[in-house]
Structure formats: structure tokens, C-alpha cells
Structure 1
Amino acid sequence: MITTERLRLRRLQLDDAPFILEQVNDPSWLEQIGDRGVHNLDDARGFLRDGPLASYSQHGFGLYLIEQAEDGAPVGLCGLLQRDWLDDVDVGYALMPAYRGRGYAREAVRAVIEHARQDLGRQRVAAFTSPGNVASIGVLESLGFRFQREVRLPGKDQQEDNLVKLFALS
């Protein structure tokens, strides 16, 4: 578990499927990250098994559930991803609407970067964001990430909407 003054970040488990169903169907997630085909609790459990839980087994890290420290309320997701086509780990995050604008994303990302460096020995961390996601770009830049280049995500067709901005923190 990763802790900050206001947050706890813990490994996801299958019991978190109801939250995952809500998170990945949030309109902002769908717009900024994309539809993951999670439309019921069975899909959410599959998302967990094939995504975060598999990543914990394979890499020792993955996406974590962000909870408020004071009451355990689920706030969103934040963690590290290892993509086959990228040498660096990248940090991903998303918050539920009620928790945006409180500094939670910055706090969670900062804690995950510290975890990557201190516990995993990863000095360089990447991050991706949609070109129009001004809030996310602001979070990354406030933490010292610098824009590297635009990249087209592998495995997707050549539509313009799969073009993302790559940031890095060294």
C-alpha cells in the first residue's frame, strides 16, 4: 500500500468490480481513455483479471485503487503500466468526477512516482494524455514532466483520435 497525507493507494481486487464498472464508464474516461468494453460486473472482473491483477503478477506493479485515507471512499485509479512497445513504465490515472479539482491526482501521481523510483528502481517515468486533456497536462507539468512528442498508439487504426502526447520525467 502507498500512503500520502490524504490518500491510500492499494492493489485492486475482484471485489472492486462495482467501482471499476463505474470508473471505466465515466464520460471523461470514455472520452480521454476510451471504451474498454466493460458493461457489467462480469466484464469489470475480466478487466481486473486481464489488466491490473495480471500486471501485479507479471511486473510487480499496476494500477491501484485510490481511496481517501479518512473514510476509505474510492476516489479513482492511479498506478504504473508496462507496455510492450515502451521501454519506460508509464503512470496512468483517472478520478471520479466528485473528486476532481482537489489536488488528488497530483498527490497520487507524486506518490506513484516515488514508489517507482524508491521501490522499483525506475528513474524515468512516462505518461500519455489526449492532446486536449488540459487538466491532465497541467498535473503532469506541475510534477516536472516534459512533453516529448506525439505518438500514435500501436494496435489502433490510423484515426486521429489515437494520437496522444507523450511526456517523460527523468
Structure 2
Amino acid sequence: MALLSSPRLSFHLLTKADAALMLRLLNEPSFINNIADRGVRTLEQAEKYLIDGPLAMYRQHGFGMYRVTRLADGLDIGLCGLVYRDYLGKPDIGYAFFPEFAGQGYASEAAAAIFAYGKNVLQLSEIVGIVAPHNFASQKVLQKLGLQKQGQLQVPGEDKKVDYYALPTV
């Protein structure tokens, strides 16, 4: 059963049964280039990643990343959801789609649906975004949500900075 849906997509809680999907997505060159190399190379590692990541986040925060399915044909096309990172101190919106579904508006549609879900259903007071400085497509997705670049942050424990997006303060 879907957690929520948008005009073309449905969103589902991840389970250990999604290990193959996670393994493929985490090893896409676009994921590694734009997000990070999580070092997940086997189904067993993907299952552990799910248990320690999204499934733990559901229990701890009541939200996480969700499997995104295209309504037209039931294909799993990627992930979108909310992630709580200690160094941000608030949830950020995240998404990753298989490359064959890029450029079709799915990221924008999914992000808008999750943003509204976070605000209206989960009653989150603030949702932010982080993105690699070179990832212009994702920057546009965040901007469509009304988020504006506030500066850059150093990712703790990693040798990289990310652009930080939030709603403008009045």
C-alpha cells in the first residue's frame, strides 16, 4: 500500500526486500558522483544499509527515504524522502532516480509531494536541502520548492562541501 501518491508517482516504505533496488541505485555513477559512494557492493551490504539507514530512520524520526514507483506501469524509478542528519539538526529532502528516468520531471514531482507531506502530514516546521555544488539539476528541484541557497556546509567526516538550501527568512 502506498504511503502517498502524486499525479504520476506513488511512495512506499522501504523494506529489506528492496535490497536489489538499493544496490543498483547506490552504484549508479550519477549517485556516486552527486551524492556519495556508500561502498555497498553486495545484496547483503544493501540489506544492512537499509536496516541501518532508512529503516532505522523510520523508527527514530517517523520519516525517511521512500521507494518511488511510477503509477503508469508500476516500475520502481528511484527514491525520495526526508533524511535527518545530525549536522543539519533538521530534516532535508533527498532524492535519487535511475538515470533512465532523468529529465522527465519525476524528481520535481516527487520532491514537491514529499515536501508537502512533511509540512502538512508530519507537521515539520522546517525542511531544508543539501546538494553537491556541481549538481545543477538538483539545485533547480530545490529552487522549485521555494528553497534558496544559504551558503555552503562542510560534510562532517567527508572531504566535501555541499550547498545548503532553506526557505528564505522574512
Q: TM-score, normalised by structure 2?
A: 0.94
Match of 1:168 in 2: 166
Shift of 1:155: 2.0
Q: Which runs of 5+ in 2 are unaligned?
A: none
Determine the C-alpha separation between the residues in 2 that align with 1:100 and 1:141.
17
Matching of residue 15 in structure 1 with residue 13 in structure 2: no
77-86 or 39-48: bigger deviation: 77-86
Determine the C-alpha separation between the residues in 2 that align with 1:36 and 1:88.
22
Match of 1:152 in 2: 154
Which residue of 130, 141, 146 maps to 1:139?
141
Shift of 1:2: 1.4
Determine the C-alpha separation between the residues in 1 that align with 2:167 and 2:22.
28
* Aligned amino acid, residue 121 of structure 2: D
Spell out the pairing of 1:1-40 with structure 2 (5 A cutoff): 1-40=3-42
Q: Which runs of 5+ in 1 are unaligned?
A: none
Shift of 1:84: 1.4
82-91 or 50-59: bigger deviation: 82-91
Q: TM-score, normalised by structure 1?
A: 0.94
Deviation sequence 1:64-103 (CA, Å, 0-9, x none): 0010012210111100011112222100101101111110
Spell out the pairing of 1:54-133 with structure 2 (5 A cutoff): 54-133=56-135
Shift of 1:46: 0.6
Shift of 1:144: 1.0
Shift of 1:36: 0.6
Shift of 1:149: 0.9
Determine the C-alpha separation between the residues in 1 that align with 2:163 and 2:91.
15
SS at match of 2:104: coil
Determine the C-alpha separation between the residues in 1 that align with 2:49 and 2:109.
25
- Number of paired residues? 166
Q: Which runs of 4+ in 1 moved over 3 A?
A: none
Determine the C-alpha separation between the residues in 1 that align with 2:45 and 2:167.
34
136-145 or 101-110: bigger deviation: 136-145
SS at match of 2:12: strand
Determine the C-alpha separation between the residues in 2 that align with 1:143 and 1:118.
14
Deviation sequence 1:107-127 (CA, Å, 0-9, x none): 000011111111111132111
Match of 1:41 in 2: 43
